Structure formats: C-alpha cells, structure tokens
C-alpha cells in the first residue's frame, strides 16, 4: 500500500480546484432555495447514520422542497438495477427489479413522465484519491424525478447536481459498510484461527512431553549399558532386556514422529485455508473448490487425527457399512470442509457419553455416514446429508435451536475443554458458503449433527 507523502504542488493544485469550484457555482446560478436544498441534503446525510436513512433522505428532500416524487434505483451485487426506495412506499426491502424501460447510462434522459439521472460514484475499491483531475466515475444507479411536466430546464440541471451528491454520499456510506464488514470478518477470522489452529496447536505440547519422556528413558538405558560394560559381562538376560527396551522405545518414537507429522500436515492445511490472500482482499471467506474423495481425503484423515484421543476416553469408532469401498467424489473447499469434520470430531472427544444401547449394553461411540437426498434442493437437484453421531444425553430443546449461534455454549460445556462456543458457528458459516444447510437431531442413543450439501456425483 502506498503511503501518501506531502509534495510542493499540493497547495497549488487545491487552490486551482477551489477557484474552479467557485466559478462553477457562479455559473450554476442556483437560487437561494436550491442552495438551501443542497445544504439540507448535506446536513441530513451527516445526521443520519444508516444506509436506509440515506435512501429516505434522497427521496424526501425533493418531495418536501418541490412537491416532486422520486425513486432511487441501485445496481446490486449481481449487477441488476433494482428499486430500493421511493416516495410512495419508502424503503423497498427486498429491492425490486426495475421496469425494462429504465436503463443505465452516463447522461440524464427523459421518459414519458420522469427525468432519469445517473447516480455516479468512484469505485468502492479505490481509496480516497487526492490527484487532480478526479478519476473516472462509474454508474451505480438511477435517480428518477417525476412528474416531468413540473420540471424546468434549470430544475433538471439542478437535479443532476443533486444526484451527484447522492452518489458521493452513497459511496461514503457503502465504503463505511464495506470497512465494517471487513473488520467483522477479521474478528471472526481471529476466532476461527484461535479455535481451529491455536487450541489444536496445544496438542503439540502433549506430543513433545511424550517425546521427552522417551528420550529420558533412552538416556537411562545408555547409563545402564555403561554400567553393564564396567560391572557385568556375558549376562544374556540383561542384554535381552536392554535390546527389548530399545526396540520398544524405537517403536514409540516412530509412532510419535508419525503423530507429529500428521498433526503438522493437518495444521498446515488449516493455516493455508484460513490465511489465504483472497479472504483478506474480499473481506470474507473465499472458497477454493476442488474434487475430493469424501471419505478417503476428508473424513478418515480427520478421524485418524482424533483417534488416539477418542480411544483414551473409551470412545469406539463405528464406521458405516454403506461407505465401505465407496468413493464418493464431491467438489468442495478441501481445507475448510476438513475443518468442519475436525470441529465435529473434536466435539465428540469432549462430549460423548456412555449410554445403554438397544441391547441393554453400555456404549460410548462415534459414527459417521451419508445419505443421498434426491430433489432436496429442487427437481433434479440432489443433496448429500453427512452425519457425525455420538452417544450421549439429548440437548435441551432451548439449546438445540441455538446451538449453531456464535458464542453459544451448552450446559454440558466443561471449562477445561477450551470451549469458546464457536466451532458449530464456524461449521454453519462454511456449509452455507457451499450453498448447504446444517442441523441437529436427537436419535435413540445420542446426538447427530449433520450438514447437507448440494450433490452432483462427480464419478457417475
């Protein structure tokens, strides 16, 4: 980003612009009433903060000052011109597509009963620019004033200048909103990083402790060997004990290496998917979709990552029969969907409980699976429902409806679990970015968290 530095020409250029503006206003020859209307618009646009209030001001000032009706049309994110406010109904939410007779142009034009003025603005991605002359403007909407027969030639010229002020103020308000969204995104991203990177990173501490313990054992064995060399000779039993211990420690060290390497790979994937440049440029998570094998590429690596912790807590893993040997391929953001499963398996470790199953036996387990939902998103538009189930008590009704809200923490949350109430909210955000839906349901023996994604079978 360029940092603006003072130059000797700054004051000279500004003086030229001040002089030009004075000459412009003399040539406009606006009446006192029209100058007061511009001042009124300016003052009110500073007084009211919301974007909707600015829309209302745009259409109300001509009504109160001239008795003229007006309509404001703006180009939406899809590039469609839509009516957002008028003097007949006020705010139109959601905006309505405008009639075909209204079109975008950089010059004012007339219809049967209205005067149409383009709303011009500098591009939102531009920073405030002090260079002279002013950079090119682009069209962000149309301001319609009617009835046409009440407008004189002078009035039409005045409303082109009035609409220029609408464009300027809209740009400022939209830019402020864009900045707020960027800040909100960064705040959410910091929470995502804390939840999906920093807290899981604490697992390294445990792994390094295990390594240190095994290194200490090796040091002890080295001392034993040195002692053996100086005091005892030809004791096959002692030799065999030392060899057995060394082999055991070697196996454990290999296991630790593999666990650390697996954790590092997973953490690197999460860092890549959360620290993409696109996220920061767009002010939102941006999907990088690719074709993945659902179970092999996404589910099993995350399950393997939590397998030791599940085993340590007595949680058995029930793999689905209907996915065995099946390679469903879906097009998703590999890194973000992996984090979805990581969050769900992490919650299993925290909250799975022992229940009595349908056979009367104790059961503490996790299971995952999938169901194809034909026509779920409309005729011919299938969905794939992906489940992660764990045994335990059902969530209370008031919690089950709020469980995906950011910051919400259920009554079963334990302080020691580093829970922030963000994991399920992150899941909801990522799945909805993919055009899907999330949900919760209680089954006979526990809790099922699921999400449904649009499904087009890549391999059929």
What structural domains and CATH numbers belong to the chain?
Answer: 10-174 (3.30.450.40), 192-454 (3.30.565.10)
> Sign of torsion, CA 204 207 213 214?
negative
- DSSP E strand stretches across 87-227: 90-97, 109-110, 115-121, 138-146
**Looking at residue 133, what is its pLDDT?**
40
51-66 vs 153-193: helix axis angle to the nearest 10?
170
* Nearest residue to 434 via CA among 378, 371, 368, 383: 383
Is the bond preceding 147 in cis, omega lying within 30 degrees of 0?
yes
404, 347 contact by CB (below 8 A): no
> pTM higher than 0.85 for the full model?
no
**Looking at residue 209, what is its pLDDT?**
80
273, 336 contact by CB (below 8 A): yes
451, 439 contact by CB (below 8 A): yes
- Mean pLDDT split into 10-residue runs, the chain, 460 residues: 54 79 78 90 89 93 93 87 93 87 88 92 51 58 94 92 91 78 73 69 75 80 72 68 80 80 77 80 84 92 90 92 76 92 93 92 94 92 94 88 83 58 88 94 92 76
Residue with tokens 């075909």: 100
Q: How far apart are CA 340 and CA 196, in angstroms?
A: 10
Q: How far apart are CA 43 and CA 396, in angstroms?
A: 52
Q: How far apart are CA 460 and CA 456, in angstroms?
A: 9
**Looking at residue 432, what is its pLDDT?**
94
What does residue 386 show for φ and ψ, rounded to 5 degrees? -115, 125
């Amino acid at each position: 980003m360029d940092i603006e530095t003072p130059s000797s020409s700054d004051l000279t250029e500004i003086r030229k612009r001040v002089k030009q503006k004075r000459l412009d206003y003399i040539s406009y020859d606006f009446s006192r009433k029209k100058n007061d209307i511009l001042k009124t618009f300016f003052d009110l646009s500073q007084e009211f903060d919301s974007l909707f209030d600015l829309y209302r001001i745009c259409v109300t000032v001509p009504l109160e000052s001239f008795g003229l009706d007006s309509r404001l049309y703006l180009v939406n994110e899809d590039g469609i011109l839509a009516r957002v406010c008028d003097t007949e109904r006020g705010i139109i939410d959601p905006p309505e597509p405008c009639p075909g007779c209204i079109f975008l142009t950089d010059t004012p034009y007339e219809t049967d009963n209205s005067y149409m003025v383009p709303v011009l603005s500098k591009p939102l991605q531009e920073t405030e620019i002090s260079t002279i002359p002013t950079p090119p403007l682009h069209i962000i909407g149309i301001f319609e004033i009617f009835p046409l027969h009440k407008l004189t030639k002078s009035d039409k010229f005045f409303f082109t200048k009035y609409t220029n002020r609408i464009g300027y103020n809209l740009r400022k308000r939209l830019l402020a909103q864009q900045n707020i969204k960027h800040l909100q995104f960064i705040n959410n991203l910091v929470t995502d990083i804390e939840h999906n990177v920093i807290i899981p990173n604490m697992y390294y501490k445990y792994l390094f402790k295990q390594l240190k313990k095994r290194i200490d054992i090796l040091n002890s064995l080295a001392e034993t060997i040195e002692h053996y060399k100086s005091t005892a000779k030809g004791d096959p039993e002692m030799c065999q004990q030392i060899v057995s211990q060394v082999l055991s420690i070697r196996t454990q060290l290999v296991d630790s290496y593999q666990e650390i390497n697996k954790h590092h790979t997973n953490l690197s994937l999460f860092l890549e998917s959360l620290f993409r440049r696109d996220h920061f440029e767009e002010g939102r998570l941006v999907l990088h979709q690719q074709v993945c094998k659902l179970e092999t590429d996404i589910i099993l690596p995350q399950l393997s990552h939590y397998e030791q912790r599940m085993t340590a807590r007595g949680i058995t893993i029930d793999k689905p029969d209907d996915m065995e040997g099946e390679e469903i391929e879906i097009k998703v953001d590999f890194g973000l969907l992996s984090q979805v499963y990581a969050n769900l398996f992490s919650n299993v470790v925290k909250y799975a409980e022992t229940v009595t199953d349908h056979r009367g036996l104790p059961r503490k387990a996790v299971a995952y699976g999938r169901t194809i939902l034909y026509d779920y998103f409309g005729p011919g538009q299938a969905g794939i429902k992906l489940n992660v189930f764990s045994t335990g008590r059902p969530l209370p009704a008031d919690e089950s409806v709020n469980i995906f809200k950011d910051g919400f923490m259920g009554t079963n949350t334990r302080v020691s679990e580093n829970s922030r109430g963000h994991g399920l909210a992150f899941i909801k955000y990522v799945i909805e970015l993919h055009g899907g839906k999330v949900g919760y349901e209680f089954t006979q023996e526990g809790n099922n968290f699921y999400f449904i994604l649009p499904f087009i079978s890549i391999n059929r």
